[in-house]
Amino acid sequence: MTSMVVAVIVSFLVGSFGYVVVYFCIRPISKYRTIRKQIIQNLADYLNSFDQADEGENFHGIVDQKAAHIRSHSSDLTECYHNILPNWYQALLRGRGEYPEEISKHLMALSNTRDYYHARNRMEKIRQLFKV
């Protein structure tokens, strides 16, 4: 009977530790990586929305819609970095040279850009900061 009690206590402790690790480490890092992946995918899509040859009547609507997505990703990135990620992972990102705060600033500037060449330059800065 004593071994059964010890097994139950050990199982409870291991399960509790696993829950803490998943809830406070794995899920926040996974969310950050998901946001990062979405931003990288949307950058090319945003740049492709600038059709230099044909700026039809729907041009500004498409660009404005994609700019709104970039703004929301920027705020998601900032919120995730400051409020969700553990401090040790923030330090790891800084050690890698990846600065989400700077990336967010460039994303906001990119979302307000309507010139193809300026947007491409901002996009290159963002890719360099993301280490892509």
Residue 3 maps to a domain: no
Residue 17 maps to a domain: no
Residue 99 maps to a domain: yes
Q: What is the C-alpha separation between 28 and 85, in angstroms, rounded?
A: 5
Residue 91 maps to a domain: yes
* pLDDT grade for 12, boundaries at 50, 70 and 90: very high
Domain containing 70 equals 29-50+57-130
Residue 16 maps to a domain: no
Q: 42-53 in b/e burial notation, b at 16+ Cβ within 10 A? A: bbeebeebbeee
* pLDDT grade for 131, boundaries at 50, 70 and 90: confident
Place of tokens 């990135």: 77
pTM over 0.75: yes
Q: Which two tokens stand for residue 18?
A: 């696993």
Residue 24 maps to a domain: no
Indicate if the alpha-carbon torsion angle 89, 75, 82, 99 is positive or negative.
positive
Residue 105 maps to a domain: yes
Mean pLDDT score, 45-70: 71
Domain count, the chain: 1
- pLDDT at 95 exceeding the cut of 80: yes
Residue 1 maps to a domain: no
Name the percent of the chain lying above pLDDT 90.
56
Say how far residue 7 (Cα) sits from the centre of its chain.
Answer: 41
